[in-house]
Structure 1
Amino acid sequence: MSIENKIDALKAVADDLPVPIIVQSADNYGVVYMNKIGLEILGVDLNELQSIDPRTYVARYFNADDDKEYSEKIKQRVNDFSEDYTSYFQQVKSKDGVWSLYASNTKVFFKNKEGNVTHLITTASPLEPIHHITIKINRLMDDVRFLRENASVFAKLSAREREVLKLMALGLSSTEIANQLFIALATVDTHRRNIRKKLCLKNNYEAVKFAQAFNLL
C-alpha cells in the first residue's frame, strides 16, 4: 500500500471522529493531511497548511518551547525505529486566538520499502479548560517553562545562597536565618542582596516560586 492509499483510507473515516488527526512528513514535520475538525479549529484549509513552512506552522499555532521538547522525543522514537507512540500535552492556538490544551499522541504512520519512517500520525484530544485535571496540567506546564527559562540564572547561586533562598521562601527573617545557619547577620543580608540581584527578585513571592520550582521546598 502506498502513502496515498493509506491517507485515502484514513480520509474515509477521519472526518467522523471527534478529535483532530494530523499526518506529517517525518523528515520535516510538514503537514500532509488534517481532518475537518482540525482544520476548523485552526481556521485554515488543507492547501494552506501544506504550503506553509513547518517552522511557520509551529510558530503560528503552537507554543514553540513545548513543541521543541516533544519533537525531540518523537524524533528519538523515529531514530530508534520504534512503533511506540509518544504522548504529550500541547497548547494550540485556535482561529480566534484562544489557547487550548490537548492531550496528543504521535506514532509512525508509514514506512517505505526500505523500512524507513516517512510519515507520522497524531491524534489531539481537547481537554476541557475548566476541568480540574486541565488546571493542574496547565500549572505543571507553567512550572516546566519556568524551570527552562530560569535554569541558567538559578545556576549562578552558590550552595550557601540556595540555603538562604530556601529559608527566605519559608518566611524566616534575617536574624532567624543567621541563627539557623550559624552565620553573621551581615552575611545573611549580603546573601539576600546577592540572591535578589542574581534572580531579579521583586518580592518574596518570587523567592517562593524559585524555591518551589527548583525543589528547595
Structure 2
Amino acid sequence: MLMERSHSSNSFEHRLTNIKKIADDLPAALIIHRADTLEIVYMNSTGLETLGTTLEKLQELGPEQYYVKYFNTEDSDEYVPKLMHIIKTNTNEQISYFQQVKTPLNEEWQLYVSNTKVFASNDAGEVTHVITVAGMLDPVHHITKKVSRLMDEISFLRQNNLLFSRLTKREVQVLKCMAMAMNSGEISEKLFISVATADTHRRNVRNKLGLKNNYDAVRFAQAYNLV
C-alpha cells in the first residue's frame, strides 16, 4: 500500500501538513484535489513553478478552466473514467495515465505520466480528496517507475517520521553505517567510539525503528538521504 488514508477532516489536515513538509523536495509535481469538484487544494512548488502560477491563481481559475488552460482535454477520455472509478468505489488502487501539458515556458505539448490514488475519505467512507504525483516523461530514465517510487517514498516518510525523529544524532550516524553493512568494530573506528558503545547504538536503532534486517536499515537511510 502506497499510503494510508485519513478518515476525518482533522486527520486530513494533519496529513496535508505532513505532506507539505516533504512535497517541495520532490522532483515532480504533487497535487491534491477535492474529489467532488476536482478543485486544487494543494500543489507543491515544483508543480507551481512548472505552470508559472500560484495556488491562489489556480483556485481562482477553477477546475474546468485549469484543465482547458494547461492540458490537452482530449486525453481526459483515457483517465477520467479511471479517476471516477477509484472515487466511487473508494478503492486503494493507484491509477497511472498520460497527460499532455502546455506551460508558459513551453508552448509545445509535453508528455507527463501521472499516478493518482485516494488520499482521504470521510467517516461515511466517501472519498473527499485524491493525490497525484506527475513527472515529465523521459524514456531514458523510465519516469513511470520513478513516479511510482516517489509515491512509495512519500508513504514511507509519512509513516516513519515519528520513529526517525526519536533517533539521537549519534544514532542517525550509526544508522548510516548500518546501511553500509558496517559491523560494530568498523562503526567504532569510524565514529571513534568503543565497540560496546557501537553495539548499544545499533541495538537502540533497531529497537526504535523496528528494524528486522539490513534491508530495513538501507530503506530508512535512503529515505532520509543518509546514503
**TM-score of the pair, normalised by structure 2:** 0.55
**Which whole-Å CA distance do the structure 2 matches of 1:99 and 1:15 have between them?**
24
Instruction: Name stretches of at least 5 consecutive residues in structure 1 with no aligned partner.
Output: 135-217
Encode CA deviations 1:70-123: one digit per residue, 9 max, x unaligned: 111110121122110111111111122232111111000011111110000000
Q: What residue in structure 2 maps to residue 15 of structure 1?
A: 24
Q: What residue in structure 2 maps to residue 115 of structure 1?
A: 125
Cα deviation for residue 2 of structure 1 reads 2.9
SS of alignment partner, residue 2 of structure 1? helix
**Which whole-Å CA distance do the structure 1 matches of 2:23 and 2:142 have between them?**
27
Work out whether residues 91 and 102 of structure 1, in 8 Å CA contact, stay in contact via their aligned partners in 2. Answer: yes
**Which whole-Å CA distance do the structure 1 matches of 2:59 and 2:80 have between them?**
19
Work out whether residues 90 and 103 of structure 1, in 8 Å CA contact, stay in contact via their aligned partners in 2. Answer: yes
What amino acid does structure 2 have at the position aligned with 1:27?
D
Cα deviation for residue 29 of structure 1 reads 0.9
SS of alignment partner, residue 82 of structure 1? coil
What amino acid does structure 2 have at the position aligned with 1:67?
S
Cα deviation for residue 52 of structure 1 reads 1.7
Identity within the alignment, %: 44
**TM-score of the pair, normalised by structure 1:** 0.57
**Which whole-Å CA distance do the structure 1 matches of 2:43 and 2:142 have between them?**
27
SS of alignment partner, residue 17 of structure 1? coil
What amino acid does structure 2 have at the position aligned with 1:6?
R
Residues 1:25 and 2:27 are matched in the alignment: no
**Which whole-Å CA distance do the structure 2 matches of 1:22 and 1:100 have between them?**
18
Structure 2 CA distance for partners of 1:133 and 1:4, relative to 1, 3 Å? closer
Of the candidates 44, 55, 63, which is equivalent to residue 54 of structure 1? 63
Work out whether residues 78 and 97 of structure 2, in 8 Å CA contact, stay in contact via their aligned partners in 1. Answer: no
**Which whole-Å CA distance do the structure 2 matches of 1:39 and 1:31 have between them?**
12
Instruction: Name stretches of at least 5 consecutive residues in structure 2 with no aligned partner.
Output: 1-9, 144-227
Encode CA deviations 1:132-176: one digit per residue, 9 max, x unaligned: 989xxxxxxxxxxxxxxxxxxxxxxxxxxxxxxxxxxxxxxxxxx
SS of alignment partner, residue 36 of structure 2? coil
Q: Which protein shows a greater Rg? A: 1
Q: What residue in structure 1 maps to residue 209 of structure 2?
A: none
Work out whether residues 58 and 67 of structure 1, in 8 Å CA contact, stay in contact via their aligned partners in 2. Answer: no
SS of alignment partner, residue 41 of structure 2? strand
What amino acid does structure 1 have at the position aligned with 2:73?
A
Encode CA deviations 1:38-83: one digit per residue, 9 max, x unaligned: 0000000011112222110000000111124311111012112211
Work out whether residues 102 and 126 of structure 1, in 8 Å CA contact, stay in contact via their aligned partners in 2. Answer: yes
Q: Could you say which structure has the greater relative contact order, defined with CA pairs below 8 angstroms and 6 or more residues apart? A: 2
Q: What residue in structure 1 maps to residue 108 of structure 2?
A: 98
Correspondence list, 1:66-215, <5 A? 66-96=75-105, 97-128=107-138
Q: What residue in structure 2 maps to residue 35 of structure 1?
A: 44
Q: What residue in structure 2 maps to residue 214 of structure 1?
A: none
Cα deviation for residue 124 of structure 1 reads 0.5
**Which whole-Å CA distance do the structure 2 matches of 1:86 and 1:28 have between them?**
19
Structure 2 CA distance for partners of 1:58 and 1:68, relative to 1, 3 Å? farther
